[in-house]
Amino acid sequence: MSDREWEAACHHTDTCALTGSAAFFMGIPKSHVLVNGPLWCYYYALRYLENAAGYLSSHMTCTQPSGKAVVYGTEEDLLRGFDNIRRMDAPERVFVENNCSISMIGDDIAGIAEAADLPWPVYAMDSGGVRGGFAGGYARGLLRVEAEMKPQERMPGTVNVLGLTPFLLKGRQDADEIRRLLAACGIRVLSMPGAGSPWEEILRAPAASLNLVVRDELALDAARQMEKDFGVPYLSAGLPYGMQGTERWLRRIADALGGADLAAVSGEIRERNTHMRHIAMDLESLWGPLWFDRILVAALPSEAAGLAEAVRGEWADTEQLTVHLQHPSGTPIPAADAVMTCGQDDAAIGAYYHSWAGGLLLGSAHEESRLLRLGKPFTPCLIAYPTTDRLFLTDLPFCGIRGAEYLYERLWNAKLSEQVRAYKHQ
């Protein structure tokens, strides 16, 4: 891992692999994560995950090894951690995550757990920041669970949705909307590993007709491994944003499955899109079109690609649309005038912020704070964590049909808020 990647993972645009793997395991009900490392790493990961779920402290604990652990190992600390879990939780499975320093010790965690005669199976993996960022940790967690799967008889018309997590902004709501849309097309979801599916559903995943990968950076490796191990084909489809984008997304899935009934969803899209446009026409007559001189989209690749296409193709007009990716990706983004990757194009990204002269920001509080420090004007619409000055409580998603309405509403309200404020200060 390069110094730039480390700096991004620990302080700026990303979080470490320990956080990503914890997010995956905490997305499986009745799981417990034991961080085998210092409290700093534990609280760093817990603080991020509690953005989406404030109850995790009873399901995610820490060994806090003593200083002598580097020489003598962490067996005593692990046994104490297992005893704490017995007292405070009743998990089905426990996942031990070694942080950077503990990973170098090489403890036989499986052997320690077996000798302890525990009432639940224990899985271990190295998850320190030197192993990468959030995406890398999540991807390795999914691969660890894939290793527990067994071949099964194929079930026609079924899919697994890979790459979802409740620990990205609106992740739980996006998962619900995706499940709703697929069900409306007669497509059965067998499992959503890391996004609420219990263990028994996850173990049925090899029976699916198709693995639907919505975030390549989180799940493409696992999809390829499942194709190799079980013969399950995969479709790298990204996330569905916008009305037209959602319909195109569903048609791709239907084609990959060899057919599905999209009539009900297509009808819902036409009806709700017509209503949305009629409402917007009234605003356009008063305030002009939904125009921003420039638009910046900063997020993980799948969000960034889908949002860029929807915001420029369906929702707004702009002179220049730029995308800042938080993770390297080969995904093409035709709607973008420029694409830069954090950790690779930092000089260009810095120059971009300094030349910024106002426009729409679709990103997180990281990008917002950077523009604030530079004294640059901008219209914010946060779509990623951290969101330090916004509260998100509703069940509205960002993706799918309901997400298209919600984001279009937020874009208009952001524009109107800026214009009304400008008039008040004249």
Q: Which of 12-16, 59-63, 315-319 has the lowest mean pLDDT?
A: 12-16
Burial class (CB in 10 A: 0-12, 13-18, 19+), 171: buried
Residue-wise DSSP of 246-301: HHHHHHHHHHHHT----HHHHHHHHHHHHHHHHHHHHHHHHH-S-EEEEEEEEE-H
User: Do 329 and 417 sit in the same domain of this protein?
Assistant: yes
User: Do 399 and 288 sit in the same domain of this protein?
Assistant: yes
User: Do 29 and 141 sit in the same domain of this protein?
Assistant: yes
Say if 319 falls within a structural domain.
yes
Say if 211 falls within a structural domain.
yes
Question: At residue 2, does pLDDT exceed 60?
Answer: no
Query: What residues are paired with 379 via a beta bridge?
Result: 360
Say if 151 falls within a structural domain.
no
pLDDT of residue 10: 41
C-beta separation of 38 from 46 below 8 A:
no
C-alpha 270/C-alpha 264 separation (Å) is 10
For 321, what's the count of Cα atoms within 13 Å in the CB-facing half-sphere? 20
User: Do 227 and 214 sit in the same domain of this protein?
Assistant: yes
pLDDT of residue 206: 98
pLDDT of residue 38: 84
How are beta strands 93-98 and 122-126 bridged, if at all?
parallel
Number of domains in the chain: 3
Q: What percent of the chain has pLDDT over 90?
A: 72
Residue 185: which of 277, 258, 237, 244 has the closest Cα? 258
CA distances to 141, 188, 193, 217, 221 from 160, in Å:
16, 9, 8, 16, 14
Give the pLDDT mean for 289-300: 95
User: Do 289 and 365 sit in the same domain of this protein?
Assistant: yes
Tokens 């491994």 -> residue:
225
User: Do 291 and 361 sit in the same domain of this protein?
Assistant: yes
User: Do 240 and 309 sit in the same domain of this protein?
Assistant: no
User: Do 211 and 313 sit in the same domain of this protein?
Assistant: no
Give the pLDDT mean for 334-354: 94
Query: 261, 282, 308: which is the final residue of a domain?
Result: 261
User: Do 272 and 411 sit in the same domain of this protein?
Assistant: yes
Output DSSP code: residue 339: E
pLDDT of residue 121: 92
Tokens encoding 222: 């696992």
Say if 153 falls within a structural domain.
no
Question: At residue 353, does pLDDT exceed 80?
Answer: yes
Report the chain's mean pLDDT, rounded to a whole number.
Answer: 90
Quote the Cα angle for 93-97-103, to 5°.
145
pLDDT tens digits for range 177-215: 999 999 999 999 999 999 999 999 999 999 999 999 999
pTM of the model: 0.92
User: Do 233 and 292 sit in the same domain of this protein?
Assistant: no
Question: At residue 7, does pLDDT exceed 50?
Answer: no
Tokens encoding 152: 């099964």
User: Do 125 and 27 sit in the same domain of this protein?
Assistant: yes
For 162, what's the count of Cα atoms within 13 Å in the CB-facing half-sphere? 36
Give the pLDDT mean for 210-224: 97
Query: 261, 278, 309: which is the final residue of a domain?
Result: 261
Quote the Cα angle for 259-220-152, to 5°.
60
Query: 123, 146, 169: which is the final residue of a domain?
Result: 146
Give the pLDDT mean for 353-368: 95
Phi, psi of 161 (to 5 degrees): -105, 115
Q: Categorize the per-residue pLDDT at 1 as very low, low, confident or very high, splitting at 50, 70 and 90.
A: very low
C-alpha 323/C-alpha 409 separation (Å) is 22
C-beta separation of 56 from 49 below 8 A:
yes
C-alpha 189/C-alpha 191 separation (Å) is 6
Give the pLDDT mean for 328-339: 92
Question: At residue 37, does pLDDT exceed 90?
Answer: no
Say if 119 falls within a structural domain.
yes
Give the pLDDT mean for 138-152: 95
C-alpha 209/C-alpha 25 separation (Å) is 24
pLDDT of residue 9: 40
Say if 107 falls within a structural domain.
yes
Question: At residue 253, does pLDDT exceed 90?
Answer: yes
Tokens encoding 366: 């990281």
CATH of the domain at 103: 3.40.50.1980
C-beta separation of 177 from 187 below 8 A:
no
* Domain range enclosing 98: 3-146
C-alpha 178/C-alpha 306 separation (Å) is 14
Q: Categorize the per-residue pLDDT at 11 as very low, low, confident or very high, splitting at 50, 70 and 90.
A: very low
Question: At residue 125, does pLDDT exceed 70?
Answer: yes
pLDDT of residue 195: 97
User: Do 70 and 7 sit in the same domain of this protein?
Assistant: yes
pLDDT of residue 53: 80
Q: Categorize the per-residue pLDDT at 71 as very low, low, confident or very high, splitting at 50, 70 and 90.
A: low
Burial class (CB in 10 A: 0-12, 13-18, 19+), 342: buried
Q: Which of 84-93, 110-119, 209-218 has the lowest mean pLDDT?
A: 110-119
